[in-house]
Amino acid sequence: MSETTTLAAGRSSLNRLGSILGGSAGNLVEYYDWFVYTSFTLYFAKTFFPEGDRTAQLLSAAVVLAVGFFARPVGAWLMGVYADRRGRKAALTLSVAVMCAGSLIIAVCPGYAAIGIGAPVVLVLARLMQGLSLGGEYGASATYLSEMAGRDRRGFWSSFQYVTVIAGQLLALGMLILLQRLLTPDQLDAWGWRIPFAVGGLLAVSVFWLRRRIDETPSFEAVRGEERAKTMWLFLRHPRETLIVFGLTAGGTVAFYTFTTYVQKFLVNTSGFSKAAATEITAAALFLFMLLQPVVGLLSDRIGRRPVLIGFGLGGLLLTWPIMTALAGARDPLVAFGLVLASLVILSGYTAINAVVKAELFPTAVRVLGVALPFAIANAVFGGTAEAVALWFKTQGHEPWFYLYVSGVVGVSLIVYALMRETRDHSLIAED
């Protein structure tokens, strides 16, 4: 190989790495903005909703969370079409701008005591904006990272999408831990919860400028100028792949939101831990969960995507009930940490590779829409409602029924994993 060729290859590798890091940084900030809502729900719920017991206020906040999730399919559709027509870079830049606006609106919105019903209405509108943004972000970022990664390490590099998803959640929890140390509980309840939303909005502004400087993917550049994808192409030309994405997402997303976001409230509302202890247990487990993603992604490059997904499906089906039952009775923080971590190790079989599996199913012209829309629909139906379903079962006096619900949805996804083809060996991503 000549020196010129070697230098060109080096620059190409550096450009690829820089683009992957740039795309990942934006994903981190978007998910920080999204998860700040769930991390601080325990503090701001009574600001936006009339006085009531804690479970009723959390249920109201969870319903607003679900509303945001139901905006995600719309965002996935709009941003998916936009990304497949105008490029991945353009869609990523637009999504972070919308997320920024939603966060800043929540940061300055008056409470129920000041403007009455207007407070939850504004909160809902802001969450709708964030849902539209994140609905587009997932498909665009999953596709961008998968297309920028090389063939041999596609599982490894694409796993960094969930590294940044988890890092965003950790950043939100870290902000909560910091504010719990600096402010009194009364200050957090009164105004301290607004700080992380304001910080998220400002971070999104910086990412907006960062994303304007990343490269477009070679896969999109290769089809630029050709006939653009239409929404109906997804259902008429790729119905099987669309159903696979929906099916493989259902179990993964209900497990993800159960064991990464709802578990913090579960530790307080069911296990009896303090807010601070629950936050620290969740954050510690999530940190190790984050580090595990590239390992599982690399494993999928070696043994394939299906075995990894099947491992998650079997673990989720068989172990959700015993883990949740034990966690409900846990009183030792180390025991609770071990149980949460065990659930997240199982979950890694989905989170680390779900993005690349979906991207490998579709051709370039319809890839972002194919990745984003069925995922967002499944995410809204199963992920966005997880907290509300769990809290509803609790209010009815049948909390353990939620454990069966999670197990059942994961079991349905397991059937999809067992029947689908090995996407690593039949990828439709153009190789470089």
Give the separation between CA 129 and CA 122, rounded to whole angstroms: 11
Other CB atoms within a 10 A radius of the CB of residue 337 amount to 18
> So what's the pLDDT on residue 16?
65
Mean pLDDT of the region 222-238 = 71
Asked if the model's pLDDT at residue 310 lies above 80, the reply is yes
Q: How confident is the model at residue 228 (pLDDT cuts 50, 70, 90)?
A: low
* Number of residues that this document lists for the chain: 432
**Is 90 exceeded by the pLDDT of residue 157?**
no
Q: What pLDDT sits at residue 199?
A: 93
Residue 18: which pLDDT band, with cuts at 50, 70 and 90? Answer: low
Q: Does residue 236 carry a pLDDT above 50?
A: yes
171-to-29, 44, 146, 219 alpha-carbon distances in Å: 9, 18, 24, 32
Q: Residue 6: pLDDT band by 50, 70, 90 thresholds? A: very low
Residue 37 pLDDT class (50, 70, 90 cuts):
confident
pLDDT at 218 over 80: no
3-state class (DSSP) for residue 399: coil
Q: Which of 11-20, 76-85, 170-179, 231-240 has the lowest mean pLDDT?
A: 11-20
Looking at residue 12, its pLDDT comes to 56
Over range 313-342, report the average pLDDT. 96
**pLDDT above 90: residue 343:** yes
Q: pLDDT by residue (tens digit) across 89-139?
A: 888 888 888 888 888 999 999 988 888 888 888 888 898 898 888 888 888
pLDDT tier for residue 413 given thresholds of 50, 70 and 90: very high
User: Of 52 and 193, which is predicted with more confidence?
Assistant: 193
pLDDT for 376: 86
Residue in this structure with the two tokens 């709009």, named with its chain if needed: 78
Confidence of residue 7 (pLDDT cuts 50, 70, 90): very low
Closest by Cα among 141, 136, 143, 69 to 99: 136
Distance, CA of 367 to CA of 383 (rounded, Å): 22
* Nearest one of 359, 310, 331, 289 to 84, comparing CA atoms: 359
DSSP symbols for 278-290:
HHHHHHHHHHHHH
> Where are the domains positioned within the chain?
19-419
**Dist. CA 407–CA 389, nearest whole Å:** 14
CATH architecture of 19-419: Up-down Bundle (1.20)
Residue type at 410 in one-letter notation: V
pLDDT for res 366: 84
User: Is pLDDT at 405 greater than 60 in this prediction?
Assistant: yes
- The per-residue pLDDT for 14 is 62
| pLDDT level of residue 54 (50, 70, 90 thresholds) | low
Mean pLDDT, range 243-249, rounded to an integer: 96
The two structure tokens encoding residue 329: 């009775």
Does residue 11 surpass a pLDDT of 50? no
3-state secondary structure 56-71: HHHHHHHHHHHHHHHH
Q: According to the model, what pLDDT value does residue 56 have?
A: 65
pLDDT at site 312: 98
Given a cut of 60, whether residue 2 has pLDDT beyond it is no
Half-sphere exposure for 220 (CA within 13 Å, toward CB): 25
**Cβ–Cβ under 8 Å, residues 381 and 252:** no
How many angstroms separate the CA atoms of 412 and 407, rounded? 9
CB within 8 Å of 71: residues ≥ 6 apart: 127, 128, 129, 130, 131, 132, 135
Q: Which residue has the higher pLDDT, 43 or 389?
A: 389
Instruction: Evaluate if residue 401 carries a pLDDT over 90.
Output: yes
